[in-house]
Structure 1
Amino acid sequence: MSNRRTRRMVVAAALTAALGLLLPVGTAQAAACQWQQTAWELPPTVPSGTLLASDGGRYGIGITGIRSTNWPFDYRERRGTLWENGRVVLRLPAATPNLRDVNTSGKIVGDDLINGTWAAVTVSRGGATTVLPSSPNWSGSSAHVINNAGDIAGTASIGLKRVLVVWPASAPGTYRELATPADSSPILAGIDEQGRIVGHSAGRGFVTDVNGQWHTLYAPGPHPFSTPHAIRDGRVVGDMDNGSSYAVAEWNDQGALVRTITQGALSAKAIGGHGTVGGSKYVASVIRPVLWRDGVVSDPLTTVSDTFTIKAISDDEKTLIGNDISRPAQYTCS
């Protein structure tokens, strides 16, 4: 468990004990869905899996293997894995390439060790790897995210610094480096259909607009952390943490803070096709999945396991995709 997550749990438990009441869930109308779980398939003889990314519908990518029962709870015999409609359709024969994202066409992006150097790659449904174009100035590269149009974003190493790179679908075989702050070393979290990119660097979130201009995500306080986890049509969601308090946050594509959600809200991870935000919040001292709409809890997901974590929401918002104990799973509205 990370230090930031541990600190959040301690702060929330203290606040709950002091107030002596359950944290409120907002004023939205009661949800109409009765959510039904479907566990995703695991490969034969493989006991565990973790979903890392999903297109919100047909495809998901992650890792499968034997999970350690001791800290840091990593995987042995880990292999990149592709699921289609909850069934395993590809499990790589080796530990690399690393699979990082997938789009609605089943196109996978990630990185692979090529002649001793990490290189950004695409991976087909059959496991074939294609190296993306690169600069001779780079000492390595990685593809992190892909949208449904096929635009790919990632990073490249130049000395000790990582720079932001886009491989545009409209110009196959090309790439472009985007301007970044001098002290940045970006880690990417998402790309929307218009090509805006979100990620974080040195504890501060950022978004690039449709022109590729970098904007830091605003967070109040002298030493705040802001971490985006998803972007859709220029709408960014994630979380903020200043060391003593935390909140779910929403920003626009210029980095301006649109709203914050408190009342136990911990993190926002996904945005559905109609604007619903999925994430997690504290109810008493328990972390539970939740859906918000316009900053208010729209569904407390009381029929969903508190061990379920949301990674993606379908376009019609009738399917929640994520992880439950030791395997990917989805909940469908009925």
Structure 2
Amino acid sequence: MGNKLARRLGAAAMTAAAVAAFAPTAAAAEPTWTAVPLEVPADVFSVRVNGTDGVDQIVGSYDSFDSGGQYRPGIVWRGTALTVLGEAFDDLTDLTAINTSGVAVGSHAAYDEQPQAVKWTGDHYEDLPAPAGSASVATSVNDNGDIVGTADYQVILWPASAPGTYRLLPMPYPTSANGVSIGDDGTVVASVIEPVGSGPSRAFRWDSTGQPRELERVDRDHGHSVLTIENGMIGGSANLLGAAIWNTKGRVQRFVPDIQLYGMNANGDLLARGNTGGDAWFVDENGVRSTLPATFMPSFHPTTLFTNGTVAGYSHDEATFTDTAVIWQRV
């Protein structure tokens, strides 16, 4: 969401801080947050709020029953207005990411079958090619139309310059990748599990030659993970220590201790909470924190923090244990 996003919103402001513990600045007054419901059909029994374009579009899916069977279409909200895109090839469909041109990506699968990566081009679905027999999922699309994801948990790239083709990027370890994301400059980032037991993970970027390069570690003895790349900033974590923001060369630009990072927008603002499970959720804008209401529930997708500070997610009702799809706005 870099070049085109910058043209739509103006230049995104970011102050690069020295690599150090970043102490949050107390806000003069806490803002009031309002949950604005997203449109959902009445017969839906579950809804997924997934990725955003950072501006005004959200993708996801919902579940309902159709003629006695389960129906799961890909959907897009523009503002709060719903557009139902339908199921890809009559399969259960999950869309997870969208760019500012409205190209959405994700996967589809029949019940109890492995997923197939797919994209929505604006008026129809297209399957994305992958190695025969592999389980493929598209997880990120940049504003140039380049798409990345996984095929049998290996990093896969679908370049916009060569439609109908794919590249499997070399893995640093013969294990599995997650958090695969792509920036507008073509930088691909992901977390890759070390080949020892089940971890820890390491944070990687792929350079212009397609080779993996590990991101600088905050601490040599801890695992590191990547969530997303936005406007030349790579957001992730030094696991159990705090949030880390890297540049596209892999150097740490900012470290925020004792928080868990869940999202980042093109300004470098963060959606996070403290390291202990019961801590409040908040939006961090250059060190100024705005605490979200206790009823806030995140979508757990790293792009759901809009550039204007609005958050896509859910409102949780403790009495009924139901989650309502909403956007949280400050007033």
TM-score in terms of structure 2 length: 0.73
State yes or no: 1:228 paired with 2:226: yes
Q: Identity of paired residues, percent? A: 24
Aligned residue number for residue 100 of structure 1: 96
- 1:197-216 map, 5 Å: 197-202=188-193, 203-216=201-214
Aligned partner of residue 287 in structure 1, secondary structure: coil
Amino acid of the structure 2 residue aligned with 1:299: R
State yes or no: 1:265 paired with 2:259: yes
Q: Distance in 1 between matches of 2:158 and 2:313?
A: 27
RMSD: 3.1
TM-score in terms of structure 1 length: 0.72
Amino acid of the structure 2 residue aligned with 1:281: G
Aligned residue number for residue 3 of structure 1: none
Aligned partner of residue 291 in structure 2, secondary structure: coil
1:129 is aligned, of 110, 125, 128, to 125
Q: Distance in 1 between matches of 2:250 and 2:218?
A: 9
State yes or no: 1:190 paired with 2:188: no
Q: Distance in 2 between matches of 1:307 and 1:259?
A: 26
Amino acid of the structure 2 residue aligned with 1:198: V
Aligned partner of residue 49 in structure 2, secondary structure: strand
Q: Distance in 2 between matches of 1:289 and 1:47?
A: 26
**Residues 97 and 112 of structure 1 are in contact (CA less than 8 Å); yes or no, is this contact kept in structure 2?**
yes
**Residues 147 and 191 of structure 1 are in contact (CA less than 8 Å); yes or no, is this contact kept in structure 2?**
yes
Aligned residue number for residue 155 of structure 1: 150
Amino acid of the structure 2 residue aligned with 1:292: D
Q: CA deviation at 1:89?
A: 1.1
Deviations 1:8-53 (A, max 9, x none): xxxxxxxxxxxxxxxx972254368543321212222214322121
Q: Distance in 1 between matches of 2:313 and 2:166?
A: 32
Q: CA deviation at 1:150?
A: 0.9
1:240 is aligned, of 217, 238, 241, to 238
2:297 is aligned, of 308, 314, 323, to 308
Unaligned runs of 5+ in 1: 1-23, 67-75
Deviations 1:203-251 (A, max 9, x none): 22322244433222324243x232222211331112232xxx4312222
2:81 is aligned, of 51, 75, 87, to 87
Q: Distance in 2 between matches of 1:275 and 1:44?
A: 37
State yes or no: 1:146 paired with 2:145: no
**Residues 190 and 225 of structure 2 are in contact (CA less than 8 Å); yes or no, is this contact kept in structure 1?**
yes
Q: Distance in 2 between matches of 1:306 and 1:266?
A: 18
Q: CA deviation at 1:146?
A: 0.7
1:111 is aligned, of 97, 107, 119, to 107
**Residues 190 and 198 of structure 1 are in contact (CA less than 8 Å); yes or no, is this contact kept in structure 2?**
yes
Amino acid of the structure 2 residue aligned with 1:48: S
Unaligned runs of 5+ in 2: 1-21, 194-200, 317-322
Q: Distance in 2 between matches of 1:190 and 1:328?
A: 24
Amino acid of the structure 2 residue aligned with 1:104: T
Amino acid of the structure 2 residue aligned with 1:119: Q
Q: CA deviation at 1:92?
A: 3.5
Q: Distance in 2 between matches of 1:174 and 1:31?
A: 52
Deviations 1:38-71 (A, max 9, x none): 12122222143221211123322223237xxxxx
Aligned partner of residue 279 in structure 2, secondary structure: strand
- Figure out how many residues of one structure are paired with residues of the other and give that number: 284
1:149/1:31 Cα in 2 relative to 1: closer, same or farther (>3 Å)? farther
Amino acid of the structure 1 residue aligned with 2:162: A
Aligned residue number for residue 72 of structure 1: none
